[in-house]
């Protein structure tokens, strides 16, 4: 198998090739490291590439396999993750200046579970500072750039995760999603990404931003890859009391089920307000694909989503400044103007308003499930309502245009975080400018399996996910 053939495989296909000894873990790692180094100057996506450690781990993986020891379903698969997941004895940057002086006392549960599944981490990725930025700008380490068009944003905060996977320099990556930070890079970079149900994946050892809204999930090249990685990291964890105790379904088996008879909801309100005509056309085309697969498309009415977004913004602002308060007072100069401005906005939020926003979550989820999931199995919607902007167009720093930009970027993703429901981003096609466009599927709480089934069926009948950027 040539280097190009290795890099062209999905995560699931590479894992199978390594298991069947059609390619070694060392060869897969060498190809990945070479590609990562080759694209770094164009994308600024890696903060660190651990060449020798990764190669040593790959050699050990090959020796284990030769002895008949298969570590797990991801044996030998190279991965790099955004630099907010703790590895014992190693300092995480959080994408800024706050973290580097503090080596982690323990390893994040999600990383431990990927280790146990056989994946090999070969580096850490650029990200929005403190995971608090939906564009991918980083004023400390340089802005991450989109593999399809380096002048364009990657989306954030999982910026390095999205663009390295698109560039075929990474097979899968952990992201985090507090207001869209998995789904935005997935749509702008043309990958798949799953924001799981709140409580489905442990956040222990992951840098927090908003303990009410934070979720951990993967970005990968295909829906199957997302299902494979989520199955490895999901489940209850004593280190994170917010995790749900119910067992993790067999996502891969569920993914293979026919989607004939499922109902897909098309929202009448909110998600298409002011939506770009090209994006609307691609959404319609993806719905037609589901119809051809045997699913039924049903229009649904939504409750007042705008009020939920306002409440979500209040929650993240208040909780973020609570987490960063001591650092913000002692080291304000170590934050970029943009992140400092966003944190300081949380200082003006009254306690009563914050508590009211928390109380609204349960009411909103009940109303959403009654309006939507009493009629359909999933809700289908665009991830963003506009075409991919450039880095320059969205480089507002901490200026007066910041609140409007943040609200615009997360307008269609933040409701999923507020409700806590799972949301899968899948590439739905390309704009006339050649940039990927994503759709999102929102499901019932803990029903990631249905999202995977629909997303996988869509990818089996389209080839958007198989296209690579001309980098």
**Choice among 158, 181, 202, 317 that is catalytic:** 181
**Residue 251 DSSP one-character state:** H
Active site residue 41: no
42 catalytic per annotation: no
Contacts of 435 (CB under 8 A, 6+ apart): 146, 148, 149, 152, 188, 387, 388
DSSP 138-166: -TTT-----SS-TTB---SSSHHHHHHHH
Catalytic residue among 24, 82, 92, 93: 82
* Measured distance CA(127)–CA(133) in Å, rounded: 9
Long-range CB pairs of 1-5 (<8 Å, 24+ gap) are 1/27, 3/27, 3/30, 3/31, 3/34
Omega into 157 within 30° of 0, i.e. cis? yes
CA-only gyration radius of the chain, Å: 21
24, 157, 210, 345: the catalytic one is 157
What is the C-alpha to C-alpha distance for residues 115 and 70, in angstroms, rounded to an integer?
12
Among 191, 215, 101, residue whose Cα is nearest residue 440: 191
Are 301 and 379 in contact by the 8 Å Cβ rule? The answer is no
210 is catalytic: no
Q: Find out whether 52 and 26 touch, Cβ atoms under 8 Å.
A: no
Pairing mode, strands 378-382 and 423-430 = unpaired
Which residues are known to be catalytic? 82, 157, 181
């Amino acid at each position: 198998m040539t280097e190009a053939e290795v890099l062209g495989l999905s995560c699931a296909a590479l894992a199978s090739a390594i298991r069947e000894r059609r390619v070694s873990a060392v060869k897969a790692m060498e190809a990945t490291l070479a590609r990562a180094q080759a694209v770094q100057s164009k994308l600024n996506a890696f903060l660190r590439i651990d060449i020798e450690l990764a190669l040593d781990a790959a050699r050990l993986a090959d020796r284990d396999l030769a002895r008949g020891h298969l570590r797990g379903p991801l044996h030998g698969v190279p991965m790099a993750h955004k630099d907010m997941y703790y590895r014992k004895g190693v300092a995480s940057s959080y994408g800024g200046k706050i973290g580097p002086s503090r080596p982690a006392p323990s390893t994040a549960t999600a990383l431990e579970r990927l280790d146990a599944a056989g994946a090999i981490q070969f580096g850490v990725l650029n990200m929005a500072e403190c995971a608090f930025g939906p564009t991918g700008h980083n004023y400390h380490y340089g802005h991450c750039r989109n593999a399809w068009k380096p002048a364009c944003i990657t989306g954030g905060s999982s910026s390095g995760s999205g663009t390295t996977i698109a560039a075929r320099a990474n097979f899968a990556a952990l992201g985090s999603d507090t207001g869209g930070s998995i789904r935005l890079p997935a749509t702008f970079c043309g990958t798949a990404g799953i924001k799981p149900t709140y409580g489905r994946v442990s956040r222990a050892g992951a840098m927090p931003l908003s303990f009410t809204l934070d979720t951990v999930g993967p970005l990968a090249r295909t829906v199957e890859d997302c299902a494979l990685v989520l199955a490895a990291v999901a489940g209850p964890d004593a280190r994170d009391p917010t995790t749900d105790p119910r067992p993790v379904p067999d996502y891969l088996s569920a993914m293979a089920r026919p989607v004939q008879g499922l109902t897909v909801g098309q929202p009448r309100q909110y998600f298409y307000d002011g939506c770009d005509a090209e994006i609307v056309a691609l959404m319609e085309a993806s719905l037609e694909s589901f119809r051809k697969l045997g699913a039924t498309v049903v229009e649904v009415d939504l409750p007042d989503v705008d009020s939920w977004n306002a409440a979500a913004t209040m929650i993240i602002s208040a909780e973020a400044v609570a987490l960063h308060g001591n650092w913000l007072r002692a080291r304000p100069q170590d934050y970029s103007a943009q992140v400092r401005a966003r944190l300081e906005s949380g200082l003006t939020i009254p306690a009563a308003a914050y508590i009211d926003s928390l109380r609204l979550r349960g009411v909103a989820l009940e109303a959403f499930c009654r309006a939507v999931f009493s009629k359909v199995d999933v809700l289908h919607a665009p991830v963003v309502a506009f075409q991919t902007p450039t880095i320059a167009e969205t480089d507002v720093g901490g200026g007066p245009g910041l609140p409007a930009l943040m609200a615009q970027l997360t307008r269609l993703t933040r409701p999923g975080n507020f409700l806590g429901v799972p949301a899968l981003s899948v590439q739905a096609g390309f704009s006339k400018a050649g940039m990927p466009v994503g759709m999102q599927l929102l499901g019932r709480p803990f029903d990631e399996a249905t999202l995977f089934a629909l997303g996988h069926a869509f990818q089996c009948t389209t080839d958007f996910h198989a296209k690579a950027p001309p980098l």
